[in-house]
Structure 1
Amino acid sequence: MYFNKDTIICGKNVVLVPYKEEHVLKYHEWMKSEELQILTASEPLTLEEEYTMQKSWLMDENKCTFIILDKSKYELTGNEIEAMIGDTNLFFANADDRLCAEAEIMIAEKWARGKKCGWEAILLMFMYGIDTLGVKQFIVKISYINTISINMFKNMGFVELSRSNVFQEITFSKIVDEMWINWIKTNLGNFTIKVG
């Protein structure tokens, strides 16, 4: 999404930056992992395909992608590539109606897992979606075997909508309301969204 190309979202432990060409090589290395392919229902791409995908996603007004940085590592090194730990996305199925977005989160670096980085990153993405993009409902699709993500989204108030035995995944939904927004803000504490 070209709209978010200069946006930086800063939380307590993570920083979200737009997915740019310089991130592709490390992202491509992550996606060679069979475990991540299974958990994210992704197919491996060639490096050339990954660069093409990054460019197309940047220009696609229905895909909003951020790379997740470990804030302490980023502040220490000033190097986004070294600080990369995962990514988070919003997808809009209907170009004319941005009220509903499918959300995704991936913590690729094993050392960054179990530290609530994914929790914080997706809450930051939800706030960006609500405040900046006007999202009123979030959908997540999670593999049957990804119990960590299933439990995380249930703890965030998501409810099960359906199950697909064909795709081996559960679809969860959360309607945005003031109570949930306040809950997110309480859980996040101080955060900033900088554009430009």
Structure 2
Amino acid sequence: MHLNEKIKILGHRIILVPYEPRHVKKYHNWISNETLRQLTASEELTLDEEYQMQRSWREDSDKLTFIILDADIYSRDQDEIAAMVGDTNLFLRADPDTDRQVAEAEIMIAEPEARGKGLGREAMLVMLKYAQSQSQLKLDAFEVKIDMDNTISLHLFETFRFVETGRVEVFHEVTLERQITPDWISWLEQQVKLQIESY
């Protein structure tokens, strides 16, 4: 999606930047890890296929992605590659039963030393707030699909006031959803403020 191609979003401990070709090699190294692929339900791709996927994330109108930078690491020498710790994505779709616009959210903190520090929580809150505030997306709800054993992610989204709406045993997957209501928008605004700059 071109919506975010010329912006970066500054958080307290993270910076979200568009997924660019220069990020692909490090991203590809992350997804070469079988455990990460399982946790994120990702396919193993060749490096060339990963470059094609990066272009898809940029061009397709139903996808929105940011690379997550550790702000402390980035502040040292403005090296985005060294500061990369993960990514956050949205897949947009119209629900055929209700005609609502739903965004399926994903978050990955790939660097082991970056986990457990609240970076994923802040990055996801910033992504949710950014997407909710973009009127052209016309979002009605957010959704996540999480492996049943991924208790950390399940707990994270429960703290975001997502509620379970389904389980698919064959895929070992739990679906949680969050309707975008005035009360929830008010809660979200108390959690995070957007600071957007040109990129």
TM-score range, shorter chain: over 0.9
Q: Distance in 2 between matches of 1:83 and 1:21?
A: 16
Q: How does 1:1-196 map to 2 (within 5 A)?
A: 1-94=1-94, 99-132=101-134, 133-188=137-192, 190-195=193-198
Question: Which amino acid is 1:145 matched to?
Answer: D
Q: Moved runs in structure 1, 4+ residues, more than 4 A?
A: none
Deviation at 1:76, TM superposition (A): 1.2
Question: Which amino acid is 1:58 matched to?
Answer: R
Q: 1:79 to 1:98 in 2, by over 3 A?
A: farther
Q: Distance in 2 between matches of 1:21 and 1:36?
A: 21
Cα deviation, 1:71-95, whole Å, max 9, x if unaligned, reads 1111112011110000000111239
Q: Distance in 1 between matches of 2:3 and 2:191?
A: 27
Q: 1:191 to 1:128 in 2, by over 3 A?
A: closer
Deviation at 1:135, TM superposition (A): 2.0
SS in structure 2 opposite 1:61?
A: coil
Q: Distance in 2 between matches of 1:60 and 1:13?
A: 29
Question: Which amino acid is 2:176 matched to?
Answer: F
SS in structure 1 opposite 2:165?
A: strand
Deviation at 1:98, TM superposition (A): 7.5
TM-score by length of 1: 0.94
* Mapped contact 1:92–1:98 kept (Cα < 8 A): no
SS in structure 1 opposite 2:170?
A: coil
Q: Distance in 2 between matches of 1:19 and 1:150?
A: 25
TM-score by length of 2: 0.93
* Mapped contact 1:65–1:88 kept (Cα < 8 A): yes
* Mapped contact 1:12–1:191 kept (Cα < 8 A): no
Q: Distance in 2 between matches of 1:131 and 1:18?
A: 17
* Mapped contact 2:130–2:194 kept (Cα < 8 A): no
